[in-house]
Amino acid sequence: MNDLQYQFDLLKAMNKKIVESEHMYKLIVERASLSFIYYSVEKNKYYSMGNFRNLFGFEVNNTGDLERFFSFFDASKESRLREVFFSESYSANEEAIDILDSVGKRWFRVVCSKIYEGEVLTDKVVKIIDITKDMSRSEELLYMAYYDSLTGIYNRNYFITLLDGFISDAKEKGDRVAIITIDIDDFKKVNDGLGMIIGDEFLQQFGSYIKEFQNDRVIVSHLSNDIFGIGIYNPLGDYAVSGYINRIRNRLKEPFKMSTGQEVSVSVSFSVSEYPEAAASALSLINCGDIAMFRAKSLGNDQLVYFDAKMLDDFMSNVSLENKLSDAVMHHRFEVYFQPQYHADSQKLRGMEALLRWKDEEKGFIPPSVFIPIAEKNGAIIPIGNYVLERSIKQYAEWKEKYDLDFTMSINISAVQYKRDDFVENVIELIKRYNVDPQYIELEITESILIDDFEAVTKKLRELRDFGLKISMDDFGTGYSSLSYLMRMPIDTLKIDKSFVDSVLSDNSTRIILDSILDMSQNMGFESIAEGVESENQYNYLFGKGCDVIQGFYLGKPQPAGEITKMLEDGVELQA
């Protein structure tokens, strides 16, 4: 190959490479939707490049084209755009402007980079990027900062901001501000029964319904999950709180129609808290609303509760009780008392019920009806319940060994304890550890455990009973139990609630129910225990109706273990 041929091939190869890399460069720039205007100072010439033609429909090659380019944008920003373009001042940084097109549809970011040789400007590269998508995303972000994405009404944060505005106006003018908190009753049932999609649609519809109330004095918000809020400036006359509540209640008489054709009917609970009485800031006002709502929910469905200061006291004392409770758990400040149960016919000892006692240093005895619900809510019931189980089983083993008496030890079990996976295992382990005969240990459960999963509940009960334990249904007659449930439940004992015993002598309908409970209990082969028996008359009545066992102050109060030991020491008679 001669020299010339070689040179030629080399040139061709280089050219090809240049063409290739140019092609590659063009592709990349176009695909990336980048458009440029390049200005060469030396040649005083403009070139448009990249995706420019696609974007604007023309090229820029001279100052005339450049004017056409400027007129493409929002006129009010033109002078700023020219500055970015023509500024000759030395700057190492890129100058940029975000600008809308003249029809207000698309956003562009125009960025000018200047290239210097020493301090002499040689070239400018102006990059034009379509940022419409990013801008609409930030508009979306802005929307999300104010509105709830599900219902399209104000979210909690923005509601608080607006409400604080109401409150500071009211402070100045001596006016009032009210918030109505609305909590959908049993919303879980809507979700579980009809599905989340219908649940969401219902919330949307409810949100748009209350949005109709909104004006310069009234704001509405989706505060959380199934909770809505209405803030009212100076709630008087047409703006009175009761007016809104009545309107909502009336609306709820009709079902909401979903797009699927399904109908959703709900009731709601209301709470009301007002500035200046309840609180002086939006956030505290909402908190007061929550506290009043807590009270409303405890009363049932379709309730209305106004916040008052006493409610806060109660709430705070519950909070301090909660702290005390964890302290008591840590320092074992509990004791178990025992209340004897007697056979109705012979008045001989049948067994005893273990009842928990908590003595607080400041408050004295705090009744279990107060602290057990708190312990169930915050989980303290697990260590407390384990303590009661172990304490009672151990005590039973000691009495059994010392006095060789066979009586039943009944232990209250909370639904929370019962639901734990290791519950059955735990109980069996304790019984083995203290080597007691399981037939003398009875677990008292309440109907509330049945709400969840009947199959899972009965499976556990069966395991316990198969091991030999007795199961007792506590507070019978107050809860959910239907007879059909009861028949399928593996239980031995029915404890008739104290409320029946209380009014059996004075109230005819109670008597009818009590009689039929005792009747049924007998037919189904349960042992029946009446609790809270305080008088001889009550005793006689119950005995006459065939009640098996009597428990109550009339025959014996709950007592510390020491007292029971004395009683056993003196000798008690047991049923043969």
Which residue is listed with tokens 């109980």? 427
| Site membership for Ca ion, residue 442 (CB under 5 A) | no
CB-nearer residue toward ligand C2E: 352 or 518 = 352
Among 165, 243, 368, 383, binds ligand C2E (CB under 6 A): 368
Taking the complex as a whole, the smallest distance from the CB of residue 395 to ligand C2E amounts, in Å, to 13
35 binds, among Ca ion, ligand C2E, none (CB under 5 to 8 A by kind): none
In this complex, which beta carbon is closest to Ca ion, that of residue 477 or of residue 546? 477
CA–CA separation, 320 and 192 (whole Å):
35
Q: What's the rounded Cα separation, in Å, for the pair 55 and 192? A: 51
By CB under 6 A, residue 441 contacts ligand C2E: no
* Residue of 474, 494, 504, 542 that binds ligand C2E (CB under 6 A): 474
| Cβ-Cβ contacts under 8 Å for 316 (sequence gap 6 or more) | none
Binding-site member from 474, 493, 501, 530 for Ca ion (CB under 5 A): 474
Between CA 549 and CA 558 the distance in angstroms is: 16
Binding partner selected for residue 553 from Ca ion, ligand C2E, none, CB under the kind-specific 5 to 8 Å limit = ligand C2E
Distance CA(528)–CA(522), nearest Å, equals 8
Q: Which amino acid is at 133?
A: K
The 497-536 contact track toward ligand C2E, x by CB under 6 A, reads -x--------------------------------xxxx--
When the beta carbons of 112 and 469 are compared against Ca ion, the nearer one is 469
Selected from 475, 496, 521, 558, the binder of Ca ion by CB under 5 A is 475
Confirm if 456 and 477 have CB atoms less than 8 A apart. no
C-beta of 231 vs 558, nearer to ligand C2E: 558
Q: How far is the CB of 354 from ligand C2E (least distance, A)?
A: 6
Strands 470-476, 441-445: pairing is parallel
List the interface residues with ligand C2E, window 374-403 (CB under 6 A).
Answer: 385, 388
Assess 352 for contact with ligand C2E (CB under 6 A): no
Q: Could you tell me the smallest distance in angstroms from the CB atom of residue 431 to ligand C2E?
A: 17
With a CB cutoff of 8 Å and minimum separation 6, the contacts of 502 are: 532
Q: Which does 53 bind (CB under 5 to 8 A by kind): ligand C2E, Ca ion, none?
A: none
Query: What SS3 state is found at 502?
Result: helix
Instruction: Work out how close the CB of 382 gets to ligand C2E at its nearest, in angstroms, rounded to a whole number.
Output: 11
Q: How far is CA 15 from the centre of its chain?
A: 69
Out of 129, 356, 424, 564, which residue is the one contacting ligand C2E (CB under 6 A)?
A: 356
Tell me the C-alpha to C-alpha distance, in Å, between residue 154 and each of 147, 207, 290.
4, 10, 18
Shortest approach of Ca ion to residue 358 CB, angstroms? 16
Binding of ligand C2E by 130 (CB under 6 A): no
Q: Is 496 near ligand C2E (CB under 6 A)?
A: no
Smallest distance from ligand C2E to CB 538, Å: 9
Tokens of 550: 């009597």
For 136-175, b where at least 16 C-beta lie within 10 A, e where not — what string? eeeeeeeeeeebbeebebbbbebbbebbbebbeebeeeeb
What is the residue whose two structure tokens read 């280089």?
Answer: 14
User: How is residue 116 written in tokens?
Assistant: 């210097």
Residue given tokens 């000018």 in the structure block: 112
Which residues inside 403-432 make contact with ligand C2E, applying CB under 6 A?
412-414
Considering only residues 278 through 317, tell me which ones interact with ligand C2E, judged by CB under 6 A: none
Position 447 contacts Ca ion (CB under 5 A): no
Find the shortest distance in angstroms from Cβ 531 to ligand C2E: 6
Helix (H) or strand (E) holding 388: helix 381-403
- Stretch 210-229 residues interacting with ligand C2E (CB under 6 A): none
- Residue 452: how many CA atoms within 13 Å on its side-chain side? 12
Work out whether 444 is an interface residue with Ca ion (CB under 5 A).
yes
Determine, following the binding rule CB under 5 A, whether residue 412 of this chain makes contact with Ca ion: yes
Q: Does 442 bind ligand C2E (CB under 6 A)?
A: no
**Of 356 and 494, which CB lies nearer to ligand C2E in the complex structure?**
356
CB 52 within 8 A of CB 59: yes
Question: Strand ranges (DSSP E) for 332-400?
Answer: 334-343, 349-360, 364-366
Closest approach of Ca ion to the CB of residue 355, in Å: 7
Residues touching Ca ion, count (CB under 5 A): 4
Q: Does 558 bind ligand C2E (CB under 6 A)?
A: yes
- The one-letter amino acid code at 287 reads N
Name 113's Cβ contacts closer than 8 Å, sequence gap at least 6. 94, 124, 125, 126, 127
368 binds, options Ca ion, ligand C2E, none, Cβ within 5 to 8 A by partner type = ligand C2E
Provide, rounded to whole angstroms, the least separation between the CB of residue 335 and Ca ion: 17
The arrangement of strands across the sheet holding 304-306 comes to: 154-155, 218-224, 227-233, 177-184, 268-275, 304-306
Q: How far is the CB of 560 from Ca ion (least distance, A)?
A: 18
Minimum CB–partner distance for residue 480 and ligand C2E (Å) = 16
Helices (H), 147-254: 156-173, 187-194, 196-211, 241-252
Q: Which is nearer to ligand C2E, 397 or 496 (CB)?
A: 496
Contacts (CB under 5 A) with Ca ion, residues 56-85: none
Out of 367, 379, 468, 560, the only residue in the binding site for ligand C2E (CB under 6 A) is 367
Report the distance separating Cα 292 and Cα 87, nearest Å. 64
Characterize 404-429 residue by residue with b for buried, 16 or more Cβ atoms within 10 angstroms of its Cβ, and e for exposed: eeebbbbbbbbbbbbeeeebbebbbe
Of the candidates 148, 282, 135, the residue with the CA atom closest to the CA atom of residue 206: 148
Enumerate binding residues for Ca ion (CB under 5 A). 412, 444, 474-475
Q: Which residues bind ligand C2E (CB under 6 A)?
A: 339, 354-356, 367-369, 372, 385, 388, 412-414, 474-475, 498, 531-534, 552-553, 558
